[in-house]
Amino acid sequence: MQNSINDANNKYYLMGGIVCCLIFLFLIAAVNWYIPVAQLNAYLNQYVENKLPFSFLRYIALLVSLLGDKYVIIPTVLLTGFFFQRQKRFSLHFIIVVILAMLLASFFKNSLAIPRPDVFIQLNKFAFPSRHVSLCSSYLIFLSLIITQQIKHYKWLVVVSALTLILLESLSRMILGVHWLTDVVGGILLGAACALFVVYHYNFKPTPIQNLRSFVKIFIMIFCLISLFYLFIYWTELIKEYKFRQESGILDFNLYIT
């Protein structure tokens, strides 16, 4: 990677991070004080409940949510960083971006204390921003920016793939009924800001990922293995319980979906 290119990009990364932060703060104000936003949230949530009762689509949404589940993503990133520990600068920034996104999302959740949709109200479980979407956005945007700086061809494919996965994660949280629209938008903004600022810092002394294909393969392999383990010990019972409660008309499923 050429320093001149990084210097030029860094200016936009910094500006992009600042813009995301400003829009995020504006969204906080809108969620708290602008009634039409709450009405839009309620309308969309009701629409999803009416149009998408428990179905195969919700099974898919449960699986897609793994892309932002802290119990899957944090171990995946840590183990991937361990495998690439010789590339200390990249591995460190890769770990930092997800930890930062998780901590900030948790901070804003607990500070703002915005309730989840009525069906999923639970003490100490708040809505804004979506931590799943924040985590998913942070590492996918971080990786897409780092990778596109390193490759010459198919940059558009990397960007489109990352954005598609972020969109799917956002939709999955709404389909499951655990988040409002503003929660997932806030999660995207927060995750994007974390990614842009971390890439900005990383580019002061950029180090190309050695054997990029191996990195991608190892990351996907670790993610799949941890996801399977997580599904085995936890989500099988979750899906059974979810279906039972839906069929029985018992809607207080908040103990399971977070």
Phi and psi of 85, rounded to 5°?
-65, -20
SS3 string of the chain? CCHHHHHHHHHHHHHHHHHHHHHHHHHHHHHHHCHHHHHHHHHHHHHHHHHCCCCHHHHHHHHHHHHHCHHHHHHHHHHHHHHCCCCHHHHHHHHHHHHHHHHHHHHHHHHHCCECCHHHCECCEECCCCHHHHHHHHHHHHHHHHHHHHCCCCHHHHHHHHHHHHHHHHHHHHHCCCCCHHHHHHHHHHHHHHHHHHHHHHCCCCCCCCCHHHHHHHHHHHHHHHHHHHHHHHHHHHHHHHHHHHHHCCCCCCCCCC
Say if residue 129 is preceded by a cis peptide, omega within 30 of 0.
yes
Of the listed ranges 44-53, 70-79, 124-133, 192-201, the least confidently predicted one is 44-53
Q: Note whether residue 191 is domain-resident.
A: yes
Query: How many structural domains is the chain composed of?
Result: 1
Q: Note whether residue 203 is domain-resident.
A: yes
- Residue 67 is which amino acid? L
Burial label for 248, CB within 10 Å (0-12, 13-18, 19+), is exposed
pLDDT of the residue at 253: 47
Which structural domain range is residue 54 located in? 3-248
Using pLDDT thresholds of 50, 70 and 90, give the confidence band for residue 125. Answer: confident
Output b/e per residue, 156-174; b: 16+ Cβ within 10 A.
eebeeebeebbebbbbbbb
Using pLDDT thresholds of 50, 70 and 90, give the confidence band for residue 22. Answer: very high
Mean pLDDT on 146-172: 89
Mean pLDDT on 246-252: 57
CA distance 224 to 227: 5
Q: Note whether residue 255 is domain-resident.
A: no
Q: Note whether residue 254 is domain-resident.
A: no
Using pLDDT thresholds of 50, 70 and 90, give the confidence band for residue 75. Answer: very high
Using pLDDT thresholds of 50, 70 and 90, give the confidence band for residue 72. Answer: very high
Q: Note whether residue 257 is domain-resident.
A: no
Q: The tokens of 204 are what?
A: 């002061």
Q: Note whether residue 258 is domain-resident.
A: no
Of the listed ranges 22-36, 44-58, 229-243, 244-258, the least confidently predicted one is 244-258
- Yes or no: say if 107 and 123 are a contact pair by the CB < 8 Å rule: no
CA distance 210 to 247: 51
Q: Note whether residue 256 is domain-resident.
A: no
Q: Note whether residue 253 is domain-resident.
A: no
Of the listed ranges 114-128, 149-163, 188-202, 242-256, the least confidently predicted one is 242-256
